[in-house]
Amino acid sequence: MTKPTHRKTEIVAIASGLFREKGYSAVTMRDLANAMDIKAASLYNHIKSKQEILVLIVIEIAEEYTNTIRLIESSNDTAVEKIGNVIQLHIDITVKNPDALASLNNDWMHLPEKELQYFLQMRETYEDIFRSIVKKGIADGEIKNYNAEVIIFSILSTIRTLYLWYGKKKEFNAKVLKTNLNKILLDGII
């Protein structure tokens, strides 16, 4: 994927806020142009379509998650440390851009077919890697012998929807969130 220009980055940032506020389907290119205080024709000089914006938002974050979890998996850390690093990854991305996460979680199904398949493959890879980390932790006795799928569901459900809560708590200290959430989620399984 090519690196977006400064103007395209600005368009994507404003669009992700609008998508979160109104929903992807309800936002028009005219809404985006109005939010940027430019004419719709000018917007098309930088971006082809609303779907292109969605691709830029969703694929970039999905690649960041997938590439980072691969690095986490290949590290020499313990399974518990790896799970902690995955939790930190989600917190970092949430703090950085909760609006984009809303698109990732709510609008991915609107991706064009090629990008949709790519996204679904990345999501499956991500979950498989996380599953292998949890199962290894159980097998090595680092993690309590609970059902791995329940552990995976519990942790992923919390960290994937963190943007819903954090977006309302912008003044909340990210450092407190990192320390507390990591401890709360990990203490239940170790």
- Determine contact, residues 125/66, Cβ cutoff 8 Å: yes
Alpha helices (H) in the chain, listed in sequence order: 6-22, 29-36, 40-43, 50-74, 79-96, 98-106, 113-139, 148-160, 162-166, 174-187
Which class does domain 51-187 fall in? mainly alpha
- Determine contact, residues 142/77, Cβ cutoff 8 Å: no
User: pLDDT per residue over 10-68, tens digit each?
Assistant: 999 999 999 999 999 999 999 999 999 998 888 998 899 999 999 999 999 999 999 99
